Amino acid sequence: PTNEAEVEVFSVPSYACQRRTTLENRNTVLTDALSLLAENAELSAEEGRGVAFRRAAAVLKVLPEPVTDMTQLRGLPCLGEHSLRVIKDILENGASSEVESTKQSERFKALKVLTGVFGVGAKTADRWIREGIHDLQQLKDSRQTLNRAQRAGLEHYDDINQPVSKAEADAIGEIVEEAVASVLPGAQVTLIGGFRRGKLSGHDVDFLITHPEEGREVGLMPKIVSWLESQGFLLYQKTTRNSYLESDDGPARPCSNMDRFERCFSVFKLDEDEKRRAGQTQSHHASAEDGGLKPWRAVRVDLVVSPISQFAFALLGWTGSKLFERELRRWAGHEKTMSLSSHALYDNTQRTYLRATSEEEIFAHLGLDYIPPSERNA
């Protein structure tokens, strides 16, 4: 290697589930830009374009050094013409004109604000924008009928859009542990989602709940929710039965115990006192006595209950990242002729379910090296 034109050339496997993606990212300027375009595409019902930008950003996240020259990107997977144009613009001009104009666009700003309301998706936001609603004041002034989730989302807008810290996630974890221990001793609570991947903040806190004896988890969610409600911990909750039967997870057929997954979308009321009990020494919120500010905050929390027979699949499916999950399913389908869901792994060639009691076994069934949660931050 003595060539004077030499630049570092990277080699990266094409599926995110073949790669180790830590939270250390040397290319945040580029990945933030591509993520913003992905978000804009997703909010505009252009899912394909969204995935393409997410895949491109994920490739840049694993590069060991900041990209300084387009030649370093030769041979890398998932970098389409459009993503390469954005990267080139940033390397040459310090910013991407497309990203900057998207950020400034009234439509993007309105979509962001409106979908920031819990319970509001891209479709609803789009409809409101077509009716002339671009911000929260206009939403409040309009005579739109809001559902229960959206009313809670509007009421707790600022809290819900403020990132959740690890200390707050731990405090919520203690409350959930107490609830679960009270209604079903022996049941187990596992932190999932971004916090399991080692993130220091998140948009919500996610928990998976199971019991080591198959069947004992049946009917558990309503009991947990009742306990939490009786203690005043819930500002909002909606419990849904498993939607597996209606999902588009592929040809994997549910077996008899597969209608048991239950999920609860909720908004917790977290007292500053609870946070201190969980080990945080200093509170940044003013106390009620200090200045009339409320001594609590609203936090989005997702709870999932799984039977122990599906626990490993649920754990893998709910740890994320969303792109990592998508890539696992794409790998399973395209490279292994298998169907992976949060419930099961089905081999379409052998026409059989592949059992697993750990995430390691699922990676092995898929012919992949095991990737720990902290390296699934694609």
Binding site for ligand CTP (CB under 6 A): 193-194, 199, 202-204, 206, 317-322, 325, 342
Catalytic site residue from 126, 159, 206, 271 = 206
Residue 73 or 169: the one with the smaller Cβ distance to ligand CTP is 169
| Site pattern 167..196 for Mn ion (x: CB under 5 A) | --------------------------xx--
Q: Considering only 251-259, 300-308, 345-353, 354-362, which stretch makes contact with Mn ion by CB under 5 A?
A: 300-308
Interface with Mn ion (CB under 5 A), residue total: 7
Q: How far is the CB of 166 from Mn ion (least distance, A)?
A: 12
Q: Please report whether residue 274 would count as binding Mn ion according to CB under 5 A.
A: no
Q: Please report whether residue 319 would count as binding Mn ion according to CB under 5 A.
A: no
Q: How far is the CB of 317 from Mn ion (least distance, A)?
A: 12
Catalytic site residue from 89, 170, 302, 347 = 302
Question: Residue 115's binding partner, choosing from Mn ion, ligand CTP, none, with beta-carbon cut-off 5 to 8 A by kind?
Answer: Mn ion
Rg (CA), the chain: 22
Cα dist. 234→116, 166, 227, 268, 331 in Å?
20, 20, 10, 5, 39
* Tokens read off for 149: 């989730």
State in Å, rounded, how far the first CA of the chain is from the last one.
31
Binding to Mn ion, residues 200-259 (CB under 5 A): 202, 204, 206
Residue 119 or 193: the one with the smaller Cβ distance to ligand CTP is 193
Query: Helical H runs in 240-358?
Result: 272-277, 288-291, 311-319, 322-336
CA distance 299 to 117: 13
Q: Look at the chain and count its residues.
A: 378
Cα dist. 75→4, 25, 84, 115, 307 in Å?
20, 20, 12, 37, 44
Question: Residue 233's binding partner, choosing from Mn ion, ligand CTP, none, with beta-carbon cut-off 5 to 8 A by kind?
Answer: none
Residue 27 or 306: the one with the smaller Cβ distance to ligand CTP is 306
Determine whether 273 is an active site residue: no
Determine whether 158 is an active site residue: no
Q: How far is the CB of 204 from Mn ion (least distance, A)?
A: 4
Q: How far is the CB of 122 from Mn ion (least distance, A)?
A: 8
DSSP 279-301: T-----SPPHHHHS--SEEEEEE
Question: Residue-wise over 122-159: b if at least 16 C-beta within 10 A, else e?
Answer: eebbbebbeeebbeeebbeeeeeebeebbebbbbbbeb
CA distance 58 to 78: 9
Coil, strand, or helix at residue 77? coil
Q: How far is the CB of 243 from ligand CTP (least distance, A)?
A: 9
Kindly list the residues in this chain that would bind Mn ion in the complex (CB under 5 A): 115, 193-194, 202, 204, 206, 302
Residues carrying an active site annotation:
204, 206, 302
